[in-house]
Amino acid sequence: MDMFFDIIIAGFLVIGGIFGIVGSFGLLKLNDRMSRLHAPTKATTLGVGGVLLASMTHAAVYEHHLSVHELMITLFLFLTAPITANFIAKVHIHRHDTPESLPDAGQDKVWATHKKPENEVIGPEV
């Protein structure tokens, strides 16, 4: 039975390591700015998830207690990874795209990152 859990923990560790290295290699290798955003935010988060699963199984099998610290880290990481990705994508759009070069925003007139507040005075008009 120990052999079975050994294989599971080692599998989680190897999968996590491979996902982590794929994410960082994608950050180096991909050419386009926006596609470069995908590799670290998805693959590396999955790699950390694999390591956390391995740590949880290890605590349950070899140290004979349920460890829920990992669940907190997992929850926090999987909640915040999309938010950071969204912020960095907004930085890309804001710095490199004009409102004309972006696709149609549909019902809204412009994309949110180009939208100026209506009552704000822009420039030295005071």
Partner 1 sequence: MIETAAIFAFLCFALSLVMNLWKVVAADDVADRILALDTMFINAIALMVLYGLALGTEIFFEAAMIIAMLGFVSTVAYARFILRGNIIE
Contact 65/59 with Cβ under 8 angstroms? yes
For the bound state, the minimum distance from the C-beta of residue 98 to partner 1, rounded and expressed in Å, comes to: 16
Chain-centroid distance of CA 23 in Å reads 10
**Smaller CB separation from partner 1, 62 or 105:** 62
Which is nearest to 18 in space by CA: 49, 55, 59?
49
Coil, helix or strand at residue 47: helix
Of 96 and 99, CB closest to partner 1: 96
> What region, left, alpha or beta, does residue 106 occupy, with left being phi > 0 and alpha being psi -120 to 50 degrees?
left
Residue closer to partner 1 by CB (options 96, 103) is 96
User: Site residues (CB under 8 A) for partner 1?
Assistant: 6-7, 9-11, 13-14, 16-18, 20-21, 23-25, 27-28, 33, 36-37, 40-41, 44-45, 47-48, 51-52, 54-55, 58-59, 62-63, 67, 69-70, 72-73, 76-77, 80-81, 83-84, 87-88, 90-92, 94-96, 113
